[in-house]
Chains A and B, each alone.
Chain A
Amino acid sequence: MTEPIIKFEKLNKWYGNNFHVLRDIDLDVAPGERIVICGPSGSGKSTLIRCINRLEEHQQGKLFVDGVEMTDDIRAIDEVRKKVGMVFQQFNLFPHLTVLENLTLSPMWVGKMPKKQAEEKAMQQLQRVRIAEQADKYPLQLSGGQQQRVAIARALCLTPKIMLFDEPTSALDPEMIKEVLDVMVELANQGITMLCVTHEMGFAKAVADRVIFMDEGQIVEQNNPHDFFNHPQNERSKDFLSKILGH
Chain B
Amino acid sequence: MSALSYQPILPRPAPRHASGALAWLRSNLFSDVKTGLSTIILGGLLLWFIPPFLNWSLFNAVWTPDVQACRAVQESAACWGVIAEKYRLIIFGRYPFDQQWRPLIATVLMMLMLVASCIRVFWKPWLAGSWIAVLTVFFILMYGNSLGLAKVPTDSWGGLPLTILLATLSIVMAFPIALLVALGRRADLPAIRVFCSLYVELIRGVPLISVLFMASFMFPLFMPPGLTIDVLIRVLVGITLFNAAYLAEVVRGGLQAVPKGQIEAAATLGLSYWQIQRKIVLPQALAMVVPSIVNSIIATFKDTSLVSIVSLYELTGALDMAINADANWKPFKLQGYMFIAIIYFIFCFSMSRYSQWVERQVNKSKLR
Contact = CB atoms under 8 A, between A and B. Distances in A.
A154 B261 CA distance: 15
Interface stretch (B209-217, B277-285, B344-352): B277-285
A92 interface: yes
Contact of B267 (A81, A85, A93): A81
B187 to A, nearest CB: 15
Interface string B288-318: 0000000000000000000000000000000
B271 A105 contact: yes
B267 A158 contact: no
B19 to A, nearest CB: 38
A224 interface: no
What range describes how many residues of A lie at the interface? 20 to 34
Interface string B315-352: 00000000000000000000000000000000000000
Nearest to B261: A92
A223 to B, nearest CB: 29
A173 to B, nearest CB: 17
A88 B365 contact: no
Nearest to A138: B365
A15 to B, nearest CB: 15
Contact of A82 (B264, B266, B270): B270
A5 B266 CA distance: 23
B262 A94 contact: yes
Interface string A175-214: 0000000000000000000000000000000000000000
A86 B268 CA distance: 7
Given A88-B261, A105-B279, A109-B279, A96 B270 contact: no
B366 A53 contact: no
A78 B365 CA distance: 30
B26 to A, nearest CB: 41
Nearest to B284: A96
Interface size range of chain B in the complex = 20 to 34
A92 B364 CA distance: 19
A81 B269 CA distance: 7
A138 B368 CA distance: 9
Contacts of A88: 261, 264-265
B27 to A, nearest CB: 36
Interface in A153-179: 154-155, 158
B112 to A, nearest CB: 31
A110 B269 contact: yes
A55 B266 CA distance: 11
Interface string A96-114: 1110000001100110000
A90 interface: yes
B364 to A, nearest CB: 8
Contacts of B283: 96
Nearest to B287: A96
A92 B265 contact: yes
B284 A106 contact: no
B267 A55 contact: yes
A92 B270 contact: no
B270 A78 contact: yes
B362 to A, nearest CB: 8
Interface string B192-215: 000000000000000000000000
A84 interface: yes
Interface string A124-158: 00000000000000101100000000010011001
Nearest to B363: A96
B48 to A, nearest CB: 51
Nearest to A107: B269
B275 interface: yes
A95 interface: yes
A157 to B, nearest CB: 8
Interface string A64-93: 000000000000001001101110101011
A158 B270 contact: yes
Interface pairs A-B: 10 shortest CB-CB: A92-B265, A106-B269, A110-B270, A138-B365, A92-B261, A86-B268, A81-B270, A82-B270, A96-B283, A96-B365
22 contacts: A53-B268, A78-B270, A78-B272, A82-B270, A88-B264, A92-B259, A94-B280, A95-B284, A95-B365, A96-B283, A96-B284, A105-B266, A105-B269, A105-B271, A106-B269, A106-B270, A109-B275, A110-B271, A138-B365, A140-B368, A158-B269, A158-B270
